[in-house]
Structure 1
Amino acid sequence: MLDTSARLLRLLSLLQAHRSWTGPQLADRLGVTSRTVRRDVDRLRELGYPVNAAPGTTGGYQLGAGAELPPLLLDDDEAVAVAVGLRTAAGGGVEGMGESSVRALAKLEQVLPSRLRRRVGALHAYTVPLLRAPGAGVEPGVLTELAAVCRDAERLRFEYRDHAGDESRRTVEPHRLVCTERRWYLVAWDLDRADWRTFRADRITPRPPHGPRFTPREGPAGDLAAYVSAGLSTRVYPDRAVLRLLVPLEEAARRISPSDGTLAAESAGSCLLTTGATSLDVLVIHILLLGLEFEVVEGDGVRERLRAAHGLLGRALQRGERDGERNSGAFPESE
């Protein structure tokens, strides 16, 4: 009985994680026969889980939306409360909860009865959030749609508005969603450009229907967060530099956001920062505003600008000291 219960939970998890499974695929994942899979599906239906089945070689099992919530999970009010909370977190209202909230919301909305979807939609439509995070927001519905095509390995068609406001139509193989403190990004293989691209989610307007399915590619980098960070802070800019920061990696990470540059460990007391900017002058100002001791590892142009800034600041300080000496007796001391 325990084995059967554990297998049913595993089967339910598989059905929630993927849009459709064939009987042999589920049998292989569960280590049972196709006949056992059919019996387990019948047990899930008896418990109230709406599992749809399509016959034939192209058919399979799919978890659908039921007329009522499955028993022993959530009542109507609890389901609405959870969905609203997940939508709020996905929109940026809860720090550190965004990605998990999108995954959970995608699963929950897949099985919500229509009457509860309407309640959740009304609450979302007529609620104005006052969030402290600046920047453009992205609709949770767009995020869940992007998460779904990533999960199901379906091609995505959408209209995209770049930073200059120019619009284009794109067809991609979606890979992952990456979230920063303020924004969400979609990492995808761009079919027209035959290369990996990073798209801001708030600039994406999906144009369904999606599909067909594709075989997922290996990602653009081992550390996907570092890949996106490098794209935001370095690859997009014409002028770049690598700095050795004379502080431990942990301290630098508290001061430098992923959009400022990518950090790499070097030693116990230092780390490397790779960063960029629209011009060398802006890059030098950006570096100085970090307020950290550093050395330039790569970037001859940055060295030259720093020397020029050093001379300019030095001469300004010398003039200020001379003027201060001349004016030192201009004002009598107050009693």
Structure 2
Amino acid sequence: MLSLLATRRRWPLAELAARLAVSERTVRRDIETLRLLDYPVVTVHGPAGGYQMGPGHTLPPLLFDADQALAVAVALQTAPSSVFGLGEDAARALETLEQVMPARLRAAVESLRLTALPNYWEFSASPIDPETLKVAGTAVRHRHMLRVETRRTDGSRPVPGEADFEPARRLEPHHMVIWAGRWYMVGYEPARSAWRAYRLDRLYLHPPTGISFDPRDLPGGDVALFVMTTHDRGDTPASWQCTGSARFTLPAETVARWAPGGSVVEHLDPEHCRITLGAWSWAGVAGILATFDADLDEVEPAELVRACRRLGRRWAGVTDISEDADLPADP
């Protein structure tokens, strides 16, 4: 209703109700709600009467407290790291908000100026296209079927005749999740009778179908846990100075839950999986492998094998603080 009132000078009651697909009684009630929120909605009497926005309606009153203002400032300054092309718009939005904020809130926002630095531990994905977010988010919100194809790791789309081409498949999108700087879609594929977690930037979305589907219950009911424990969610190895792999005596879902961003987990059997990951040094890769506290073999390449042996020798030399040290037992 606010956006409609801002588009032209006057809206007759019947026309406003028809445009919003609600009753005239609902329009009157919502008008009173807007007035209670200090929006200057004016009633114009007479045959050509209706409702219009009074002076000072360019922006709604900003009813942020200090904590909310800081949350908005952080969100606008960090959003461009995960969504492509938002840098200039986010900066202008923050500047606009600051201009209409009370002095107290403006000072709080100006006190938090962020400089985005590369994260040397969790490698985020490249920023995602806003149009992809719009199409995916609309489909999730309205429960509309999507037709999708899987992109290559470089973002290109296979075409018919190429070895890795797969025809478009139908997907019921239920949730969108952002984790470790990556956007994921959780959906159900009717043809495969399976729930999946997909890297959104690895999906090519066809135009909206408008075909509705009935909501389903996600196995386990926890969408965050589902994404974090799904090993085949489309992740690819990040670019590191040193990248290696090893086979763990652990289930893939366990390793996927705790593996650092930018690593890939492959299911081998119910008790084994392979992880591919990187770090700034071979000792760094070996150290990450050690955090899983599990048996491992098939370690590659040779540089990683040598790093594991060096760390093993160093750790073997670790002694107690004293002969009588009262240290807690291992859990």
**TM-score band (shorter)?**
0.3 to 0.5
Query: TM-score with structure 1 length normalisation?
Result: 0.43
Query: TM-score with structure 2 length normalisation?
Result: 0.43
